[in-house]
With several copies, the nearest count.
Chain A
Amino acid sequence: MINKTVKNVTEALVGVTDNMTLMLGGFGLCGIPENAIKELVKRKVSNVTCISNNAGVDDFGLGLLLQNKQIKKMISSYVGENDEFERQMLSGELEVELTPQGTLAEKCRASQAGFPAFYTPAGFGTEVAEGKETREFDGKMYVLEPAFKSDFSFVKAWKGDTSGNLIFKGTARNFNPCMCGASTITVAEVEELVPAGALDPNQIHIPGIFVQRIFQGEKYEKRIEQRTVTPKS
């Protein structure tokens, strides 16, 4: 079987350069590729366009790249958790393309699945649809949205095997599966890397064909944004 393993995060990011377009999995801070993000900071890769549902918080996740002004443009659906983001956007330092969340997910999936564009009702009649083709099907209006074009996808899974197969845990799944195979190169980091054959083929969330490089992340902080609990009675 084809072996997708790379030694570490350094090897995983070979070929990442300034001005590239990058996809990053995660919803809020849940399921983000922590190791890849740290390596992007370390390498001082600059002027990148990031496709990610959110922009992290000021001192974690994509917020780290924002602090260093490595990001030229963000394509996201919700960015309300990050003050530095808001400052850079309002001052015009940062270009921002806000995209409905379902549209964002499907623009990834379209790229993964070889669809050039798709019609969605989301955003019709709003500024999101400005300058875009709209069309009626069966009496309902839709907006034509193009697939993303991206150089690298960075995703985070729970378990992975050497063939690149991935399994996610809980809602840390979110955008990660949609971004696999949606860029020229997909880099998966996992909490646990196991040999090919250790995972049940029926229970793979993302087949290895959508992943070019896989490595076990050194550590995961997994910060919680809103710790809401029911008190012990």
Chain B
Amino acid sequence: MALTKNQIAQRIAQELRDKWYVNLGIGIPTLVANYIPEGIEVEFQSENGLLGMGPFPIEGTEDADLINAGKQTVTVLDGGSIFDSATSFAMIRGQHVQLTVLGAMEVAQNGDIANWKIPGKMVKGMGGAMDLVASAENIIVAMMHTNKRGESKLLKECSLPLTGVGCVTKIVTNLAVLEIKNNVFHLLERAPGVTVEEIKKATEGTLVIDGQIPEMRL
């Protein structure tokens, strides 16, 4: 069974480590905050200027002056802080944020990522994604393995305009966990019940399968 979006988030949450500052992109990445493993402390950074981002506010207490990068009303946890945009990207560019999780339209086997533009069609802008992928030491892409037309999103080369080059290290999709090393995808784990063959078929880029591939534990 392919993972649900929540299960992708749950699997990514297993990658969190104690004392990490984490930036979660819009979409599936946001859900990761719901699955922080027991016994570890992480803080979420929102690039519009918030550290220690908490859950959505209790109905009636929402504040127009307190939103996250997705423009959603949020809260600040005890020990959180507010800062301006230049300081926010000082944190990101200065590699003070240990993990970035974001979505993608395409990932290439050399670690390139495309997620901000479809020429002539969609031009929403890159927001903070280019800064994040250019600076983060540790980037996990959360996405579906294939697009709506069933085409692989794990490619030999990206066809869309790039967001960053050679930066993605790990990918968690609805089918698998993969690592990028030496310019190829390495299959690390399968979604429960999904076969290596299914993953192979859904992956256009070069896929290295080394030994037995375990099923994910959720």
Direct contact of A and B (CB under 8 A): yes
Known contacts being A102-B89, A128-B130, A201-B81, is A2 close to B43, with CB within 8 Å?
yes
> How many B residues face the partner with a CB closer than 8 A?
73
Which chain B positions have C-beta within 8 A of A53? Answer: 85
Which chain B positions have C-beta within 8 A of A224? Answer: 62, 64, 67, 73
Considering only residues 81-107 of chain B, those with a C-beta below 8 Å from chain A are: 81-97
Interface residues of B (CB under 8 A from A): 19, 21, 41-43, 45-52, 55-60, 62-74, 76-97, 112, 120, 123-131, 134-135, 161-166
- B131 and A103 contacting across the interface, CB-CB below 8 Å: yes
Which chain B positions have C-beta within 8 A of A77? Answer: 125-128
Known contacts being A2-B42, A176-B84, A225-B71, is A170 close to B95, with CB within 8 Å?
no
Known contacts being A105-B85, A208-B79, is A126 close to B55, with CB within 8 Å?
no
What would be 17 A-B contacts, judged by CB atoms less than 8 Å apart?
A: A27-B49, A101-B47, A103-B130, A106-B89, A165-B79, A172-B65, A173-B82, A174-B48, A177-B86, A178-B85, A178-B86, A207-B81, A209-B43, A225-B71, A226-B73, A228-B56, A232-B58
- B135 and A101 contacting across the interface, CB-CB below 8 Å: no
Interface residues of A (CB under 8 A from B): 1-3, 27-31, 53, 76-81, 86, 89-90, 96, 98, 100-106, 108-109, 111-115, 120-128, 158, 161-163, 165, 168-178, 181, 195-197, 201-202, 204-205, 207-210, 222-232
Known contacts being A196-B79, A226-B71, A229-B57, is A76 close to B64, with CB within 8 Å?
no
Which chain A positions have C-beta within 8 A of B90? Answer: 109, 112-114, 181
> Which label, helix, strand, loop or mixed, suits the secondary structure of the A interface?
loop
Closest residue of B by beta carbon distance from A128 = B130
Which chain A positions have C-beta within 8 A of B97? Answer: 209
Determine the distance from Cα of A176 to Cα of B66 in the docked complex, in whole angstroms.
15
Most chain A CB inside 10 Å of its own CB: which residue of B50, B62, B82? B82
